[in-house]
Amino acid sequence: MKLGDLGEFGIIDRLSRDLINRPGEVVQGIGDDTAVLNLEGPWWLLFTTDMLVEGVHFSLDYATPAQVGIKTVAVNVSDIAAMGGWPAHGVVSLGLPTRLSVEEVEELYQGIRRAAGEYGLNIVGGDTVMSPERLVINLALLGFVEKGRAVYRSGARVGDLIYVTGGLGKSAAGLYLCRHPDLTIDPGMAAFLKQAHLEPRARLQAGRILSGAGVTAMDDVSDGLAAELREICRASGVGCRVRAEDIPVDYRVRRVAALANYDPLDWAFSGGEDFELVFTVPPDLARGVEEKLAAAGEECRCIGEVIPAEKGMVFELAGGRCVPLEARGYDHFAP
Ligand SMILES: Nc1ncnc2c1ncn2[C@@H]1O[C@H](COP(=O)(O)OP(=O)(O)O)[C@@H](O)[C@H]1O
Ligand SMILES: Cc1ncc(C[n+]2csc(CCOP(=O)(O)OP(=O)(O)O)c2C)c(N)n1
Ligand SMILES: [Mg+2]
């Protein structure tokens, strides 16, 4: 069978059997943003890894080595943020093609150093090997969260409101601009969107606030809003209804989408790599959540609500007509 026949999530499902031999220490295994492991003391350990491959996650045609380092840290911290915890210690593995110079590899590490400093985490080790063609970089990251405070994908309940932080589609618009440098557009706009793609930021502060404010489920938007909603719905055994009019899409994203002849909502739903947080919250706590985020300078928007599983995933178009929400997101092995 070919990898493309199963897709990324089918492959992971197949691999995920018979891997736990110390069940007593596992609070949450495969299936969430990070593993959650039980320790003595007040905190659970969060453990996650994400790898970036040249040509798949970045291109050195337009990303600087420092930006690749920044992104590597951000995508991993984002998974810790989506559990409601904080990052602590990481190890970095490098597969280096010999065409890179020492200076470029040092620059990569300047990016890692800068981002690690910003999120307050240590890099305490790693591995360095030759890679025949492409630059490969992996971070494995430990974090902590107070026992009982981790937010899983599985906690959404019918009636909860669905929110998303910040705005969606910026990364996809930025990627489009990196690939089409000749597009005529205001340079300030282009710089903003490209930065969103090349130097994403993890919503660590928002994740901490949300895990302390009673949210029921949370995920970071790495594969696109639709894919993350599918994960929450599947893990929680619920459905969802989201309103087109409330999906936060920045005017700059709309501008690039118009020039590129794309539907900006497609970028929001399927573009991915925005690293915003999508979360659910019971209606009686929603006001408090909004106020706490606003007080910390974090934006959020209510985009819909959790409905019974039988109703599926529903997309309410501007004007009120409802259509099924296609959970089309980034799949590494999509045909
Ligand atoms: N090769 C693998 N072996 C075991 N677990 C894996 C493997 N690849 C992914 N996973 C797990 O499958 C789940 C989904 O992975 P992924 O979609 O990459 O999550 P995320 O978007 O949070 O990075 C996660 O819990 C991850 O730890
Ligand atoms: C050169 C290049 N092509 C395409 C993309 C778009 N892209 C690559 S991976 C990805 C989705 C997220 O990656 P994944 O490794 O699945 O992250 P995870 O869900 O594990 O956090 C997207 C949108 C990109 N960033 N760079
Ligand atoms: Mg991953």
Q: How far is the CA of 25 from the centre of ligand 2 (A)?
A: 31
pLDDT of residue 328: 80
Tell me whether residue 329 is in a domain: no
Do 87 and 131 sit in the same domain of this protein?
yes
Do 75 and 187 sit in the same domain of this protein?
no
Burial of 67 (0-12, 13-18, 19+ CB in 10 A): buried
Answer yes or no: is the C-beta of 12 below 6 A from any ligand 1 atom.
yes
Which of 91, 120, 146 is where one domain is finished? Answer: 146
Q: How far is the CA of 47 from the centre of ligand 2 (A)?
A: 20
Give the Cα separation of 121 and 124 in Å (integer): 9
In 3D space, the residue among 97, 93, 98, 120 whose CA is nearest the CA of residue 109 turns out to be 93
Do 196 and 279 sit in the same domain of this protein?
yes
Answer yes or no: is the C-beta of 223 below 6 A from any ligand 2 atom.
yes
Looking from the CA of residue 59, the nearest atom of ligand 2 is 1
Measured in whole angstroms, the distance separating CA 58 from the mean position of its chain's CA atoms is: 16
- Average pLDDT for residues 50-71, to the nearest whole number? 98
Do 100 and 182 sit in the same domain of this protein?
no
Answer yes or no: is the C-beta of 75 below 6 A from any ligand 2 atom.
yes
- Average pLDDT for residues 304-328, to the nearest whole number? 94
Do 295 and 159 sit in the same domain of this protein?
yes
- State yes or no: 64 annotated in a binding site: no
Tell me whether residue 254 is in a domain: yes
Q: Residue 133's domain spans which residues? A: 3-146
Q: How far is the CA of 50 from the centre of ligand 3 (A)?
A: 5
Do 142 and 159 sit in the same domain of this protein?
no
- State yes or no: 176 annotated in a binding site: no
Number of structural domains (the chain) is 2
Question: Tell me: the pLDDT tens digits for 153-176?
Answer: 999 999 999 999 999 999 999 999
Which ligand lies nearest the alpha carbon of 154?
A: 1
| Range in 128-137, 233-242, 317-326 the model is least confident about | 317-326
DSSP 8-state secondary structure symbol assigned to residue 62: T
For the chain, first and last CA: distance in Å?
13
- State yes or no: 330 annotated in a binding site: yes
Neighbours of 300 (CB within 10 A): 25
Do 116 and 191 sit in the same domain of this protein?
no
pLDDT of residue 188: 96
Do 217 and 73 sit in the same domain of this protein?
no
In 3D space, the residue among 197, 196, 271, 257 whose CA is nearest the CA of residue 227 turns out to be 271
CATH number at residue 136: 3.30.1330.10
Do 108 and 164 sit in the same domain of this protein?
no
- Average pLDDT for residues 270-288, to the nearest whole number? 98
Tell me whether residue 335 is in a domain: no
Q: How far is the CA of 57 from the centre of ligand 2 (A)?
A: 5
CATH number at residue 258: 3.90.650.10
Compute φ and ψ for 55, nearest 5 degrees. 90, -20
pLDDT of residue 326: 87
Do 169 and 282 sit in the same domain of this protein?
yes
Query: Which residue has the least CA distance to atom 22 on ligand 1?
Result: 33
Looking from the CA of residue 79, the nearest atom of ligand 1 is 22
Neighbours of 149 (CB within 10 A): 14
Ligand 1 test: best mutation among 6, 12, 277, most atoms within 8 Å of CB? 12
Measured in whole angstroms, the distance separating CA 263 from the mean position of its chain's CA atoms is: 21
Answer yes or no: is the C-beta of 32 below 6 A from any ligand 2 atom.
no
Is the pLDDT at 189 greater than 80, yes or no?
Answer: yes
Is the pLDDT at 327 greater than 80, yes or no?
Answer: no
pLDDT of residue 334: 85
Which of 146, 175, 196 is where one domain is finished? Answer: 146
Query: Which residue has the least CA distance to atom 9 on ligand 2?
Result: 57
Strand partners, 13: none
Tell me whether residue 286 is in a domain: yes
Residues 82, 235: contact at Cβ < 8 Å? no
Tell me whether residue 334 is in a domain: no
Q: pLDDT band at residue 335, thresholds of 50, 70 and 90? A: confident
Residues 61, 118: contact at Cβ < 8 Å? no
Question: Tell me: the pLDDT tens digits for 20-42?
Answer: 999 999 999 999 999 999 999 99
Strand partners, 270: none
Tell me whether residue 332 is in a domain: no
Q: How far is the CA of 74 from the centre of ligand 3 (A)?
A: 12
Which of 146, 173, 199 is where one domain is finished? Answer: 146
Answer yes or no: is the C-beta of 179 below 6 A from any ligand 2 atom.
no
Q: How far is the CA of 63 from the centre of ligand 1 (A)?
A: 25
pLDDT of residue 177: 98
| Proportion of the chain above pLDDT 90, given as a percent | 97
- State yes or no: 153 annotated in a binding site: yes
Do 123 and 50 sit in the same domain of this protein?
yes
Tell me whether residue 164 is in a domain: yes
Tell me whether residue 7 is in a domain: yes
Mean pLDDT of the chain: 97
Answer yes or no: is the C-beta of 16 below 6 A from any ligand 2 atom.
no
Is the pLDDT at 135 greater than 90, yes or no?
Answer: yes
Which ligand lies nearest the alpha carbon of 30?
A: 1
Give the Cα separation of 211 and 209 in Å (integer): 6
Is the pLDDT at 317 greater than 90, yes or no?
Answer: yes
Do 105 and 161 sit in the same domain of this protein?
no
